[in-house]
Structure 1
C-alpha cells in the first residue's frame, strides 16, 4: 500500500512538473554564454516595426509609414498640430556596459511588468538641466532581466514635454513585446538579406573567437588571427559609397579611421528623404584579416 501511495505521489509530481512552462527568455537574467547567445538569437527575430503602438501614437498626431532604422529599429514620422515630430523604436540586446547607450545619473527608473523602464530627458545632457530650445526629445529604455528589450525615442516640436507621451508609448509597446512579433508581421515592410541575420555567422565559420558578453544586435565583435575587430550590419544611403575600391572592385576601402563598406544587395527601400537604402556590411581595420572577413561576408550573402 505504501508503495502504491509513493508511486501515486511521484506520478502527481512528474505531471505537475511537466505542466510547468519555462519562463520567457527575456524574464531571466542571462549569465552563461549559452543564455546570452540564445537571448541574442531570439531578439534578432523580433520585428521592431511590429512593436510600434500605432493607436497610441495616433493620439499625438498623424503617423507616417514605417521605415527601417538600422537592422534592429523602426522609424515613424509624426505630423502634430504644432509641427513635425518622430518616433523611433529599437530592439536592444547585450550584457556589456554601453549596450544600451549613455544613461545619465539624473535619469529616473521604475519597474513595470517585470521590466525596468528608464526615462532619459533631453535636458539630462545639460549640466544645468535647462530645457533646450527648439525640438524636444525623450527616450525610454524598457529593459528586461536578460538585458534585452527596446528603446522608445520620441521627438516633438518646441514647447512640448515629450516624456509623458514617450512613457505611455513605451508601456503600450510592452503588450506587443510579450507577443514576440517576428519579421514579416508588418505588411509591406521591406526585407533584405540582413533581416534577422546573425552578424557572427561568418566570423564563426572562419574560426573566430567570440565572447558572448561583447555582442549586440546588428554587430559582432571577435578575435581572428590574433586581431580583435568587428563587423556591423546597417542600411546606408547609396551616397555613402564614395571611397576608393579594393583591387577587385568589391568594396569601399577606409578613408582614414573610417570602416570598409560593402554592398550586400541592391537598394530596396527609401528613407524619409527618398534615398535608396543599401544593405551594408562594415568591417573595422585595414589589415589582411579584415579584408579576409569582408570577402567572406560578401561571398556568404551575395
Structure 2
C-alpha cells in the first residue's frame, strides 16, 4: 500500500546563483538563492517549504489570466488542481501542482534521456517535457489531449512540480511555462498555509512527519527526511512514516488491527511487510475527481516488524490529540 505515484515531472537541473530577480522584478530572497549545504540548512528548507500554501502560488486572479476558472482547490497534501475554460478533461485546461523538497531526479529521466527543455525564469530553472517528446509514437492520444510535465526549481533545493493537460491542437508546454512564470513570481512572497481560500487545511497541513522521533526515544533516528515522509530506523528496523490524503474506502480496505483512543488503525500484510493506516480528521471533497470519494488525512506506516510499526503509529497519533 505504498503511496500511489503521481506522474509529475522534472528534469534534473543545476542550481543557479543568488539574488537573481523574479519576473515581478523583486530579487529572490537570499535563503532560496543558495544551495543548502548542512543538515540544519536542509531542515530549514523543508520547514519553510512545508509552510508554503501550494494553492496560493497560483492565485485565482492569476489563473483567470490563463483561462476561465471552473474550479480550483486541494488535490492532495501540499498539492492543488485547477480546471480552466470548460469542465471537460479533454477540452479544457487542467493544472496540477505542488511544492516539493528536496527535489528529486525526474522519475522518467532514464526513459527520455536528453529530451525536454530547460529554461530560466528569473532565479529559477524550469524543466519541461511534452508528451510528444516523451513518446513520439502516441499520436492517437495527442489527437484527444496534450500533456506537459514540468518542474520549477529554486537554488535552495525546493520547488514545484507541475502536470498540465491541454486540448488537442495546443502546445501544452507553452501553457506550462506560463503557469511556471506565475509560480516564480509568487514564490518570493512565501504564502502561508491557508492564505488561499481554496486550500483545505487539516491536522496534517504543515506537519513534519519526523516530529515523532523524540517520542520514540534515543533508539530512533531519521535516515531520510521529506516534506510528508520520514524514513525511520528503530531498533535496526527500517520504517516509513508518511502523511497523506487517502480515500476512506482505500484506507479501510485493510483489517482493523487496533485502536488508539477512538481512532481505528487498519492493517494490510503483503510480501513480508505490514502497512498501517489511521485517519486523523474528517474527510473533504478534493478538487480533483476521486473514485473513492472524500479524502481523509491519514498517517501511513510501513515496514517489516509489526511491533515496531505499532509503536511508531501510536506515537505518531499522539501528535494529533
Q: What TM-score, normalized by structure 1, do the two folds share?
A: 0.83
Residues 1:209 and 2:221 aligned together: yes
Q: 1:66-77 alignment to 2 at 5 Å?
A: 66-77=72-83
CA distance in 2, matches of 1:209, 1:155: 41
- Residues 167, 286 of structure 1: CA spacing in aligned structure 2 closer, same or farther, 3 A cutoff? same
Answer yes or no: is 1:300 the counterpart of 2:319: yes
Q: Which moved more, 1:53-62 or 1:160-169?
A: 53-62
Deviation sequence 1:119-151 (CA, Å, 0-9, x none): 121233327586843322112211111110112
- One of 281, 301, 312 as aligned partner of 1:265: 281
1:37-71 CA-partner distances (Å, limit 9, x unpaired): 01001100000000015445334532233221322
* Deviations 1:161-197 (CA, angstroms, capped at 9, x unpaired): 2110110110121111011000121125321111100
Counterpart in the other structure of 2:256 = 245
Contact 2:225 2:231 survives alignment (8 Å): yes
**Is 1:189 the equivalent of 2:189?**
no
Distance 1:46 1:267 in 2: 22
Give the equivalent residue in structure 2 for 1:114.
123
Q: How far apart are 1:269 and its partner, in Å? A: 3.9
Which protein, 1 or 2, shows the higher relative CO under an 8 Å CA cutoff with sep ≥ 6?
2
Give, in whole Å, the separation in 2 of the partners of 1:182 and 1:34: 21
Shift of 1:286: 4.5
> Structure 1 residues 72 and 188, CA, compared in 2 at 3 Å: closer, same or farther?
closer
Alignment of 1:1-302 (within 5 A): 23-80=29-86, 83-94=91-102, 97-98=104-105, 101-103=107-109, 104-105=112-113, 106-126=115-135, 132-133=141-142, 134-187=144-197, 189-207=199-217, 208-211=220-223, 214-240=224-250, 241-248=252-259, 250-256=264-270, 259-273=275-289, 275-287=293-305, 288-302=307-321
Superposition misfits of 4+ residues, deviation over 4 angstroms: 127-131
Partners of 1:291 and 1:238 in 2: CA distance: 20
How far apart in 2 are the matches of 1:22 and 1:197? 26
Moved more, 214-223 or 33-42: 214-223
String of CA shifts for 1:47-103, please: whole Å, max 9, x gaps. Answer: 0000015445334532233221322111112234972331111101116x54x5434
Q: Which has the larger radius of gyration?
A: 1
Structure 2: 5+ residue runs without aligned partners? 1-26
Distance 1:70 1:172 in 2: 21
CA distance in structure 2 between the partners assigned to 1:53 and 1:23 by the alignment: 20
Q: CA RMSD in A?
A: 2.6
